[in-house]
Amino acid sequence: MRTMDRDDTWEPAEELVEWAKQHFAGIGIGGVWSPDESGCTYVRQDEDTFALMRMIDHPTAYEHHRRFVKLFEAAGVDMIEGDGFVKQPPALTPEQNAEERYQEKQTIAQGWKCECGLPLANFNLDERTDVFIEEKDVLLSNGDTTPVEIWSCNVTCPNCEKEVNMDPDDYNLLAGDELFMQWNDTDGAKFVALTRMQMKEMADAGVSGIVLGSVSPETGDKVPPWMWGTYNLRRFPEAIEKADEVSDEEE
């Protein structure tokens, strides 16, 4: 690997180390760090240790890994390479790459655990609170910046009552689209984004829903971006329970 010798002098910048410390602190045991396009995936084993779990069999991935080893060290985290990691041939197409990454992430998501050991998959995932964190300017490839809202999906462990703050994409991966595309406002009402078939049925029945923008027309609450532009039914949980009771009695 003579061609990479010139990169041996690379050291992570102070800001990167600071970022890494904070970012790693937010990853729970069993959680994964897999920087986009790096070809490397690491899993948190315990408080102080990450292990390499997968690496694309390509010089670019090796080089990323060599730098990440330095970054882990600078951030005060042990990194185990071991023999247990999977060396994977590079994907043939971008679609295959995306599919492989999705499959891998979904498998990983099933293994996410609370500090107490309970898998996040066993939480009451429909009882979720969406919290707005901040607005960040993201640089576009044409040099312009665009504001992006950062949100967190918070779920509570039914075993130890710890609140787990999830990245919305992670929550979506774990809970699926149906639960992800729901949102509770501060009045305790639930917005449920409708599928095209549900919209058709409502239109046929002469019932109107609500299109969500960035602010709820009912309460003035800030709406999470993944609900923008969706057509919703707004219901109160008691009304849903009552409707269930009525239909139970009818049966």
Q: Which residues bind Zn ion (CB under 5 A)?
A: 114, 116, 118, 157, 159-160, 162
Q: How far is CA 10 from CA 3, 15, 18, 78, 197, in A?
A: 14, 14, 17, 19, 55
**Contact 67/10 with Cβ under 8 angstroms?**
yes
* Nearest approach, Cβ of residue 28 and Zn ion (Å): 10
> Smaller CB distance to Zn ion: residue 59 or 158?
158
In the bound state with Zn ion, the residue whose beta carbon lies nearer, of 116 and 215, is 116
How many C-beta neighbours within 10 Å does residue 112 have?
A: 21
Strand bridging mode 86-88 / 49-56? parallel
Q: Which is nearer to Zn ion, 160 or 203 (CB)?
A: 160
Please state the closest distance from residue 152 (CB atom) to Zn ion, in A: 17
Residue 174 CB, shortest distance to Zn ion, in Å, is 15
